[in-house]
Amino acid sequence: MDKKKVLTTLNSILELELAGVVRNMHYSLMVFGHSRIPIVSWFRDEATESLQHAAQAGEYITSLGGHPSLKIGDLLETHQHEINAMLNEAMEHEQTGIRLYRKLLGLVEGSDVRLEEYAREMIRSEEDHLDVIEKMLRKPE
């Protein structure tokens, strides 16, 4: 296992998850209309979960002797605050997370069961989030 590459990837995950906290909180503040209450709640739950994911990545970084990044991943303000636009941006964010967790899995597979299981669980979690977002974007028939 290339520890340096693993730490770099874990720090990228940490930064992405911290960006997810900020992004989801921002989205929750920008929801208006008759569906506001459940959607605000959902975005805030996502922010809380992103914070938990960031903390978990940080714990693995320090367990491996690394130093957690103080950076936050990219935060682009698109000024697109219609709910579908925010959900599409959230979907892109989840897809980026899946790519990073898959990269981590490739780096640790067969050499660190703990990190391998962590990466698999996070991929499952992010793929579940994608399913939810896709259902939220689907028009009722």
HEC letters along the chain: CCHHHHHHHHHHHHHHHHHHHHHHHHHHHCCCCCCHHHHHHHHHHHHHHHHHHHHHHHHHHHHCCCCCCCCCCCCCCCCCCCHHHHHHHHHHHHHHHHHHHHHHHHHHCCCCHHHHHHHHHHHHHHHHHHHHHHHHHCCCC
Q: What is the mean pLDDT of residues 45-58?
A: 98
Q: Which of 33-37, 42-46, 78-82, 132-136 has the lowest mean pLDDT?
A: 78-82
- pTM, entire model: 0.94
Q: Which CATH class for the 3-64+81-137 domain?
A: mainly alpha
Question: What is the structure's pLDDT at 81?
Answer: 85
Query: How is residue 43 written in tokens?
Result: 């975005």
Q: Where are the domains of the chain?
A: 3-64+81-137
Residue matched to tokens 């809380």: 48
